[in-house]
Amino acid sequence: MNRARTILASLRLSNSLLSTRLSTTRPLLTQVIRFSPLSPYFPSEQSHTCFLNSHQMVYFSSKPGSLVELLLGNDWSTELESELETSNPRLTHETVVYVLRKLDKYPDKAWDFFNWVSERNEFKLSSPLYSLMLRVLVKKDYMKKFWITLRKMKEQGFYIDEETYLTISAIFRKEKMDSDLVAFKHFFDRMVKENAMDSIVKNVVTVILKMEWNNEVEEELRSMGIILTDNFVIKVLKELRNYPLKAMLFFHWAGKCEGYECNTVTYNAIARVIARDDSIREFWSVVEEMKNAGHEMDIDTYIKISRQFQKMKLMEDAVKLYEFMMDGPFKPSIQDCSYLLKSISASDKPDLNLVFRVAKKYEVMGSSLSKAVYDGIHRSLTSAGHFDEAANIIKVMKNAGFEPDNISYSQLVFGLCKARRLEEACEVLDEMETNGCVPDVKTWTILIQGHCAANQVDKALMCFAKMVEKNCNADADLLDILINAFLGQKRIEGAYTLLVEMVNKVHLRPWQATYKLLIEKLLGERKLEEAMDLLRLMKQHNHPPFSGPFVQYISKFGTVEDAADFLKALSVKEYPSTSAYFNVFQSFFKEGRHSEAKDLLYKCPHHIRKHPKISELFGSARSSVAND
């Protein structure tokens, strides 16, 4: 019996898995802590908590979620404004941030809501709120509203921080909005120049950094006559972002100054600054302090800190923060949950306890597990080599109404390859087809990459051939993996042949990096003709010319004809640039091959021979030879 057809079915269910004897007429959304993988990580009494049916699933019942639903379900009108006034008599900074985040795909609704909030006398706008609104509006169809908001921001004394400036500039570049990019840069530079606060901020930061914090520092700060505002405090904190402990000392000092009180905006600002591995204890103390003071971490701050923790591999803290937010009114989205699970699974040895803490917290808050959450759990289990538990999750997922797809199977293939169970990984693809799920190029790529990582390149090629037989087209990613595998075994000619065939026969467009790496390896083996073929293919695929290795190689080992062929291959025009010729001549001279440089010059077009820069180079070379 084909093992691929039984690999999932034969995996044993443990006793704590949801019994298959339960009725399947209604989808049972079991608690994650009922899954078999959880039993080693949680006390046994926890496994007896009740589980939810689909009709018991609840959505955000708190005001922030209700407010979002109200805005999404209605066009802006006086009636809607009246409803908002009635149902939300007091809006907090955290609530407005949450709503704007939820409306980021609906710029018109976000714009109307932001303007309505701005006109409420009791609500205090801030730089972070304006920055968030700008990020929502930075789209081609909303540039008029973007510039209106930017001007209002400046008129009201708020500023664009460097992070927001860089984020928006990157969007302008990506969307090729060059005129807006230039105008935005001018606006930002002018704002920085005109902002008198900046010089005071720098003076304050200088005082704080020049010595350890003590009474003398505090006395000097008081003598400066600083007028503390949220804007000012935030700017100082940002300038101290590389000194998180000093930032916290300044924050607490500011909060004790007469006439100023730390609030939600500044608490969120200090939280972002000290969310680092070298100040993690202080971070959690500030979070607790903020909560006790009646303030909430806003969702924008949460997302930034969570991503920062994940980037720094502080997974325990990322999960703890997720649990903290899920217990509050501004709950992270399913996308945030899925992203966190994916980050946990990406480590060499995923911490399964963290995985199930995330999933458990998501479900006990009243939401049924989505396909994305199941995938996140399954990904970690397969990556950790817990294949029995992974099969259990698949079965529970199917009971909940989600059929395994390419994502599910690809994760299993990845885990099996990681565990060097390559035959079983191959059989999974047969299992997929048996179950009516056609492997796509990503699944095949994972399988082939697994073989390459195990240094089984020939078997990887067999998988590749089978993929082609199945009419699944390769892509540049897969080709790069195979080329690197060939090069890892010093099979340079094989790599060259594979790339050329993939270009000529299936019209694949390799990555520029793949071309460059293979060209360097070919030249290292004195295979100039093959490297030149790749240079011509690069030109056909509109990749920038890759001249450096060729110039170095030809100046040392090549002939005049090689140099002429190279120059001809460089450009889509009749002749390459003058600088290309100059580099070749200069390299010949450095290698002491003056006669070859002179012979090449005679083969060049008239405008190159007579170019002042070229004439000067040859004149200098002749003088150098004469002096020698």
Does pTM top 0.85 for this prediction?
no
pLDDT value of position 417: 95
Q: What Cα–Cα distance (Å) separates residue 495 from each residue in 25, 42, 169, 545?
A: 55, 51, 40, 21
- Low-confidence stretches of the chain (pLDDT < 50) are 1-62, 626
Please state, in angstroms and as integers, the Cα–Cα distance from residue 327 to each residue in 94, 331, 360, 526, 554, following that order.
15, 8, 12, 65, 67
Q: Where are the domains of the chain?
A: 64-197, 474-537, 545-627
State percent of the chain over pLDDT 70. Answer: 88
pLDDT digits (tens, 9 = 90+) for 104-160: 999 999 999 999 999 887 788 999 999 999 999 999 999 999 999 999 998 888 888
Question: Using one digit for the tens of pLDDT, what is the confidence trace for 394-440?
Answer: 999 998 899 999 999 999 999 999 999 999 999 999 999 998 999 99
Torsion on CA atoms 178, 180, 185, 190, rounded to nearest 10: 150
pLDDT for 48 equals: 28
For 64-197, the fitting CATH number among 1.25.40.10, 1.20.210.10, 1.10.10.10, 3.90.1570.30 is 1.25.40.10
Q: How far apart are CA 163 and CA 264, in angstroms?
A: 20
User: Cβ contacts of residue 133 below 8 Å, gap of 6+?
Assistant: 100, 110, 111, 114, 149
Q: Which residues contact 268 (CB under 8 A, 6 or more apart)?
A: 93, 128, 290, 295, 297, 298, 301
pLDDT at site 29: 22
pLDDT value for 46 = 35
CA pair distance 212, 207, nearest whole angstrom? 10
| Predicted local distance difference test score (pLDDT) of residue 243 | 94
Distance between CA atoms of 441 and 471, rounded to whole angstroms? Answer: 10
Exposure letters 581-609 (e unless 16+ CB within 10 A, then b): bbbbbbbbbeeebbebbebbbeebeeebe
The Cα 47–Cα 263 span in angstroms is 41
CB-based contact 129:298 (threshold 8 Å):
no
Sign of CA dihedral 275, 277, 282, 283: positive
What was the pLDDT predicted at 627? 52
